[in-house]
C-alpha cells in the first residue's frame, strides 16, 4: 500500500472515532500508543517476539552489561536474506552499552523492534488520524482506553470464558480461589471484565469464535490462571501466554479487591 492509502486509513479511523462508530477491527497495543504519540513499550515486543522480549527483560535487570560487548547497533535481516547492521543512533556502532546508558539502549531497541519495517506506514496512518482528530481530544487517554473507545466494549460471554480457561499450580475448577475468582467476575461490570481481559491478553478484542480461539505470541493459547505468589502480592499477567498469576487469597473479599487494583492501577510490563 502507498503512503496515501495509510493516510486515508488514518482519516477513516479518526472519522469513526469522532462520529462514535465502533470498529470491528483488531489493532495491536503498539498502534494505539502510536496514535497517542507515545513511545512503544516492552510489552509491545512480547506480542511480536516473546523470546526477544525475555532477553530485553533480563538485560533490564542485569547489573553488569559491559561484558556483553553490546553497542547501539542491531543486525536486521532483510526480505532478500541480506543482513544489515542498523545504528540505533548516530555513531551507535562505536558506542558501547553500559550501566549508565542501558535505559536509553532498551528504549531505542524496543522502538526499533516494534517499528521495524512499518515505521513509515505507521507515521502516515497517524498523520491521517490527527488530520481529523485533535491530539488534545485523545491526550487524556492511555492505550487501553483508546482501544475501548475505538473498538468498543462488546459484552463478554462469561460462560464461554470459563469453559475455555485452564488452571495450573494446583488450581482447578472447584478450588475455593477459582470459585471466588468467577464470583468476582460475575460482580464485575462489563468494562471491568474487558479491562481484565486486556490486562491478561494485551487486548480487549476477543476472536469472533470466542475464547477458544485466543492466541498468544506463539500460536493458539487458552486463557490460563496459575497459582503464584503470596497473599500480599497483586495478581500479575503474562500477555504473551494469556496467563494470570493469581495468589491464593484467603477470602473472596480480598481476591476481589486485589484483582480490581491490579486491573485498574497497574501496567504489568514496561521499561522502568
Does 202 lie in the same domain as 89? no
User: What's the whole-model pTM score?
Assistant: 0.60
Does 189 lie in the same domain as 126? no
| Residue at 89 is within a domain | yes
Length of the chain: 272
pLDDT interval class at 219 (50, 70, 90):
confident
- Which of 2, 64, 224, 240 is catalytic? The answer is 240
Q: What are phi and psi of 140, to 5 degrees?
A: -85, -10
Does 232 lie in the same domain as 194? yes
Does 143 lie in the same domain as 8? yes
* d(C-alpha 219, C-alpha 228), whole Å: 24
Does 168 lie in the same domain as 128? no
pLDDT of residue 188: 94
Does 7 lie in the same domain as 42? yes
CA atoms within 13 A on the CB side of 215: 11
> Residue holding cell 494485551?
202
| Residue at 122 is within a domain | yes
| Residue at 75 is within a domain | yes
| Residue at 272 is within a domain | no
Does 258 lie in the same domain as 167? yes
Domain of residue 248, CATH code: 3.30.2410.10
| Residue at 270 is within a domain | no
Three cell numbers, residue 225: 490462571
pLDDT of residue 272: 28
Top pLDDT among 122 and 1 is at: 122
Where a domain ends, among 124, 151, 178?
151
Does 131 lie in the same domain as 194? no
Mean pLDDT is lowest, of 21-30, 93-102, 139-148, 158-167, for 21-30
Question: Is residue 102 classed exposed, middle or buried when 0-12, 13-18 and 19+ CB atoms within 10 A define those classes?
Answer: middle
* d(C-alpha 196, C-alpha 218), whole Å: 21
Three cell numbers, residue 143: 492505550
Three cell numbers, residue 49: 517476539
Instruction: State the average pLDDT over residues 170-177.
Output: 97
Does 190 lie in the same domain as 123? no
Cβ pair 14, 128 in contact under 8 A: yes
Pure H helices in 116-247: 119-132, 135-138, 143-151, 158-163, 176-187, 190-201
Instruction: State the total domains in the chain.
Output: 2
Where a domain ends, among 151, 178, 210?
151
Where a domain ends, among 151, 175, 207?
151
268: left (phi > 0), else alpha (psi -120 to 50), else beta?
A: alpha
Distance of CA 221 to the CA centre of its chain: 15
In three-state secondary structure terms, 135 is helix
* d(C-alpha 88, C-alpha 75), whole Å: 10
Does 52 lie in the same domain as 106? yes
Q: Mention every residue, 6+ apart, whose C-beta is less than 8 A from residue 195.
A: 144, 204, 263, 264
| Residue at 271 is within a domain | no
Angle subtended at Cα 215 by Cα 239 and Cα 126, rounded to the nearest 5 degrees: 70
Three cell numbers, residue 259: 484483582
Domain of residue 207 covers 158-265
* d(C-alpha 258, C-alpha 199), whole Å: 13
Over the chain, what is the mean pLDDT?
Answer: 89
240 an active-site residue?
yes
Does 75 lie in the same domain as 92? yes
Does 136 lie in the same domain as 33? yes
Whether the predicted pLDDT of 2 surpasses 90 = no
Amino acid at each position: 500500500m502507498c503512503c496515501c492509502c495509510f493516510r486515508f486509513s488514518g482519516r477513516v479511523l479518526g472519522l469513526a472515532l469522532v462520529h462514535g462508530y465502533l470498529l470491528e477491527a483488531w489493532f495491536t497495543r503498539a498502534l494505539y500508543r502510536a496514535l497517542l504519540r507515545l513511545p512503544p513499550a516492552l510489552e509491545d515486543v512480547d506480542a511480536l517476539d516473546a523470546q526477544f522480549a525475555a532477553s530485553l527483560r533480563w538485560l533490564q535487570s542485569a547489573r553488569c552489561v559491559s561484558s556483553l560487548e553490546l553497542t547501539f547497533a542491531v543486525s536486521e535481516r532483510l526480505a532478500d536474506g541480506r543482513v544489515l547492521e542498523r545504528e540505533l543512533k548516530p555513531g551507535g556502532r562505536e558506542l558501547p552499552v553500559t550501566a549508565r546508558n542501558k535505559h536509553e539502549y532498551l528504549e531505542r531497541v524496543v522502538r526499533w523492534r516494534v517499528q521495524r519495517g512499518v515505521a513509515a506506514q505507521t507515521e502516515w496512518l497517524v498523520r491521517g488520524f490527527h488530520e481529523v482528530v485533535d491530539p488534545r481530544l485523545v491526550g487524556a487517554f492511555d492505550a487501553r482506553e483508546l482501544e475501548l473507545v475505538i473498538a468498543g466494549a462488546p459484552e463478554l460471554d462469561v460462560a464461554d470464558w470459563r469453559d475455555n480457561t485452564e488452571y495450573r499450580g494446583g488450581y482447578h475448577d472447584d478450588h475455593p480461589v477459582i470459585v471466588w475468582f468467577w464470583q468476582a467476575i460475575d460482580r464485575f461490570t462489563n468494562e471491568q471484565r474487558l479491562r481484565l481481559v486486556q490486562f491478561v491478553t494485551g487486548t480487549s478484542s476477543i476472536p469472533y469464535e470466542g475464547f477458544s480461539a485466543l492466541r498468544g505470541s506463539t500460536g493458539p493459547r487458552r486463557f490460563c490462571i496459575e497459582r503464584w505468589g503470596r497473599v500480599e502480592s497483586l495478581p500479575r499477567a503474562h500477555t504473551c501466554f494469556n496467563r494470570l498469576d493469581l495468589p491464593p487469597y484467603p477470602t473472596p473479599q480480598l481476591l476481589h479487591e486485589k484483582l480490581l487494583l491490579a486491573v485498574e492501577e497497574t501496567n504489568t510490563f514496561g521499561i522502568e
